[in-house]
């Protein structure tokens, strides 16, 4: 046999054996899902054999589910709340994995996260998973998007303090925001994507406008956030005039602020608050 052909043929044989015996793609997804289950366990969740089954450890669970399905699915409960199991589902989409957490008892409560698998699972020269990378980043995203919201939802449903707003419905968050100053509302909007979305809602700014400027005429405006900013600027200018601070009359320099904020996402216009 030509020696030049020996190594390529050997590598081809090894690759075929790895694919047949180890199935690297399956192993990569198995290890990644096991890592997610470990994070859940570290955050006071218990893995179950099934939604209505008893507890099981992660190794036994992964072995029992091995190669049965491309999609991974597991049932868990938060310790002390066995009456409300949740499901964690990981759906592979090429190199991307869509992670979904849902609580069957609360049909409208679903949380999701999409990640690039190769960003977190390193593949060795043999073509098989060797170790995890960027684990801290993964843990932070998974806890922010899945673990904390799910835990907050369960605790809030059972009327326990959860130390976060994740599990509260939007209308309750609206009530909380309406009890805060506009500066605090804007600060909260920068804390997470969900609160940022809620603070951008025009209905909230209509209610804030009605609260802070009760004597002003309310017409059908296109953007109540812009109307609020404009009214705020006028009110600040009136304060400056009454105070006789000639040098501060330049508050009108901010007259273009509403247009500016409409083009800059996440703007908090701290300059006027």
Q: Which residue has the higher pLDDT, 161 or 130?
A: 130
137-163 pLDDT, tens digit each: 898 889 888 998 898 888 888 887 665
The Cα-based distances of 152 to 158, 175, 179 in angstroms read 10, 18, 21
pLDDT at 40 over 90: yes
- Digit-coded pLDDT (tens) for 150-209: 988 888 888 876 656 665 667 778 888 999 888 888 888 877 777 888 888 888 898 888
254 has a pLDDT exceeding 80:
no
What are the CA-CA distances from residue 80 to residues 36, 85, 155 (Å)?
Answer: 21, 11, 10
The residue among 2 and 213 whose pLDDT is bigger is: 213
With bands split at pLDDT 50, 70 and 90, how would you rate the model's confidence at 248?
A: very low
Closest CA to 87 of 115, 70, 68, 106: 106
| pLDDT over 70 at 44, yes or no | yes
pLDDT of residue 235: 80
pTM over the 0.75 mark: no
Average pLDDT over residues 38-60: 91
Domains, in order of start, for the chain: 23-157 (3.40.1000.30), 170-272 (no CATH)
| Statement: residue 271 has pLDDT above 50 | no
What is the DSSP code (8-state) at residue 19? I
H-helix or E-strand spanning residue 93: strand 86-93
Contacts 24+ apart (CB under 8 A), 87-90: 87/51, 88/36, 88/37, 88/40, 88/146, 90/29, 90/32, 90/33, 90/36
């Amino acid at each position: 046999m030509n020696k030049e052909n020996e190594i390529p043929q050997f590598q081809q044989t090894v690759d075929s054996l790895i694919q047949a015996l180890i199935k690297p793609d399956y192993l990569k997804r198995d290890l990644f899902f096991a890592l997610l289950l470990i994070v859940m366990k570290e955050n006071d969740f218990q893995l179950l054999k099934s939604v209505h089954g008893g507890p099981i450890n992660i190794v036994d669970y992964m072995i029992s589910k091995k190669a049965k399905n491309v999609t991974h699915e597991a049932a868990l409960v938060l310790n002390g709340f066995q009456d409300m199991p949740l499901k964690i589902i990981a759906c592979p989409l090429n190199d991307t994995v869509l992670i979904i957490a849902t609580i069957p008892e609360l049909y409208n409560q679903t949380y999701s996260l999409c990640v690039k698998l190769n960003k977190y699972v390193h593949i060795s020269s043999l073509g098989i998973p060797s170790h995890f990378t960027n684990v801290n980043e993964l843990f932070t995203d998974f806890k922010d998007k899945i673990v904390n919201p799910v835990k907050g939802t369960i605790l809030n449903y059972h009327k326990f303090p959860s130390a976060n707003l994740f599990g509260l419905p939007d209308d309750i968050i609206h009530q909380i925001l309406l009890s805060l100053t506009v500066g605090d509302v804007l600060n909260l909007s920068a804390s997470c994507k969900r609160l940022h979305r809620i603070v951008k809602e025009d209905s909230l700014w209509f209610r804030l406008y009605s609260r802070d400027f009760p004597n002003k005429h309310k017409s059908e405006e296109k953007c109540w956030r812009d109307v609020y900013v404009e009214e705020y600027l006028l009110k600040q200018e009136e304060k400056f005039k009454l105070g006789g601070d000639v040098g501060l009359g330049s508050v009108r320099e901010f007259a273009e602020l509403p247009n500016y904020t409409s083009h800059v996402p996440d703007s908090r216009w701290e300059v006027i608050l």
